[in-house]
Structure 1
Amino acid sequence: CNILVCIAILMAAAATDIVGKVWAIFFPIMAFVVGGFEHCVANMFYIPVGMMAAQNPAYVAKAQEAYGLTAEQIQGLTVLHSLNNFIPVTIGNILGGMVFVGIPCYFIYKKKWQKWHEESKNA
């Protein structure tokens, strides 16, 4: 999902007006949400909120009714479970953003940046 987040950031940075920035971030973020991908920063909110909700019997009953979850599944949401989620999701987000967005952008703009740097140094 971090591929989509990084693309949204790059397109928003390239847009020159507010409407362009909004449209630039809308579609990649929409694809990230609709795809059901996990993002480590989003999970830093959702997992603790789920852990707190698991302590409320009314929420547990509603989750069981709406999603067919068992009480054991709901009580299985613990700090250890969240680490089992955070570690692979964070590694995937770092690699996805770096390998598929950051490194290609570096190689695409490397010569242009070196030329600009030399021109500004000589001026």
Structure 2
Amino acid sequence: MSNEVNPKRQLIASIVKIINEYTLVINKGSDHGLKIGDQFLVYFLETEELFDPETNENLGRLEILRGTGSVIHLQEKIATIKSNRTTKTIRTIKRTPNQWASVLLGSEIVEQPDVEVLPFEYPALNDKAKLL
């Protein structure tokens, strides 16, 4: 097993365009080794540095999560990423065949899983995106 670090894993991009709350453009593309389906963590980096109260060691800056996304379109120097965070809910549907059948047979209750894609949370230009 090699101890080499994959340089692609260290890739950090910046948000250069917000298409909508679900779709962002980053300043890295196929020239940087990206592929369709690559996943990114999108975050805002606070300017304040945090320090350990016991050792006074600099702990770095806090990353505020905006969401996660996958590359859906690639160009040489830019990529489009779309939110891939989802929430699962159960939707209850009451099915009645017709008015008379419901009197005789009752209604059928069906539970269906419903998956909703969540938008990025307040993305802004210059937010960061790091390859997962």
For the superposition of Structure 1 and Structure 2, which TM-score range results when normalised by the shorter chain? under 0.3
Larger Rg: 2
Q: What TM-score do the two structures reach when normalised by structure 2? A: 0.21
Q: What TM-score do the two structures reach when normalised by structure 1? A: 0.22
Point out the structure with the larger helix share. Answer: 1
Point out the structure with the larger strand share. Answer: 2
